[in-house]
Amino acid sequence: MFFTLPTIMTWTRIVAIPLIVGVFYLPIAPHTANLVATVMFIVFAWTDWLDGFLARKLNQTSAFGAFLDPVADKFLVCATLLVLVHLQRTDVFVALIIIGREIAISALREWMAQLGASKSVAVHMVGKLKTTVQMVAMPFLLYDGVLLGTVNTRWWGNVLIWAAAVLTVWSMVYYLQKALPEIRARVK
C-alpha cells in the first residue's frame, strides 16, 4: 500500500526536509524564512497524527506504512535539529542526544524484531511525550522571535528542547530496561 492517502501524507514529511532546509538558503528576509519554515514544520508534523488517524479510520493500515511513519518522523526531526544547530539556535549536545537515541532505539527495535521480541520495545507513553515536547520545541526554535509581543520563542524553544533531551534519555533507558531480559535470555 505505497500510495494510500495516509502513506502519501507520510511521504510528505520526507519531501518536507529539503523544503524546510532550503528556505534558509533563499534570498528572503530572515524573519520571513523563519516564519515559512515554522509554518511548514507545523503542517508537516501535524501529518504525523493525521496519517495515523486516517489509516485507522479508512482501514488503510499497512506494514509499509507502519515502517515508513517512524522513519519519516525521525528524518524530519533529525534534519530540523541539524538546521537549528547550524543556525546556532540550539546546542549541538541536544542534537547528539536526540539523534543518538533515535539511532540506538531504532537499532534495538530492529534487533528485538529479529529475535521475535518486538513487543518488549513497543512505543510507550514516555516516548510519545518526548516526541510531543520536541515537536513543540522545534517550531519555537525555527520561529526565533517574539510571539504575541511577549513570548521569546528561542528561550522557550530551548527550555522545551532540553526537556525533550531529558525525556529522550529517560525513554531510552526505559526501552533498554524492557529489552534487557530478552537480550540476557538470548545472549546466554
pLDDT tens, the chain, 188 aa long: 578 888 898 999 999 999 999 999 999 999 999 999 999 999 999 988 888 888 889 888 888 888 888 889 999 999 999 999 999 999 999 999 999 999 998 888 888 888 777 776 777 788 889 999 999 999 999 999 999 999 999 999 999 999 999 999 999 998 888 888 887 877 76
What's the grid cell of residue 17?
526536509
Q: Which of 56, 88, 120 is the last residue of a domain?
A: 88
**Domains in the chain, number:** 2
Closest CA to 97 of 130, 142, 70: 130
Cα four-point dihedral sign 67, 69, 71, 72: positive
Residue 61 is classified by DSSP as -
Q: How many helices (H) and strands (E) does the chain have?
A: 6, 2
Same-domain pairing of 83 and 4: yes
Q: How many other C-beta atoms can be found within 10 angstroms of the C-beta atom of residue 145?
A: 15
| Final residue belonging to a domain, choices 88, 104, 125 | 88
Same domain, 84 and 32: yes
Cα 3 → chain centroid: 22
Q: Which of 38, 54, 88 is the last residue of a domain?
A: 88
Pair 101, 180 in one domain: yes
Q: Rounded to the nearest 5 degrees, what angle is found at the Cα of 30, between the Cα atoms of 146 and 36? A: 80
Looking at residue 14, what is its pLDDT?
92
Residue 71 in contact with residue 17, Cβ under 8 Å? no
- Please state the φ and ψ torsions of residue 91, each to the nearest 5 degrees: -80, 140
Q: What is the reported pLDDT for 135?
A: 93
Residues 97 and 188 in one domain: yes
pLDDT at residue number 33: 97
Domain span holding position 138: 91-188
Q: Based on the domain organization, do 122 and 165 belong to the same domain?
A: yes
Same domain, 81 and 154: no
pLDDT score recorded for residue 1: 59
pLDDT at 142: 98
* Per-residue pLDDT, 134: 94
Which one-letter DSSP state was computed for residue 182? H
Mark whether 83 and 101 lie in a shared domain. Answer: no
Helix (H/G/I), strand (E/B), else coil: 152: strand
Q: What single DSSP character describes residue 3?
A: T
Asked if residue 145 and residue 56 are part of one domain, the reply reads no
Residues 112 and 80 occupy one common structural domain: no
20 shares its domain with 84: yes
**Within this chain, do residues 20 and 34 fall inside the same structural domain, yes or no?**
yes
Task: Give the pLDDT of residue 32.
Answer: 97
35, 4: one domain = yes
The set of residues, in sequence order, having a beta carbon less than 8 Å from that of 23 and lying 6+ positions away, is: 33, 36, 37, 40
DSSP class of 67: H
What residues form DSSP beta bridges with 152? 146
Q: DSSP character for 122?
A: -
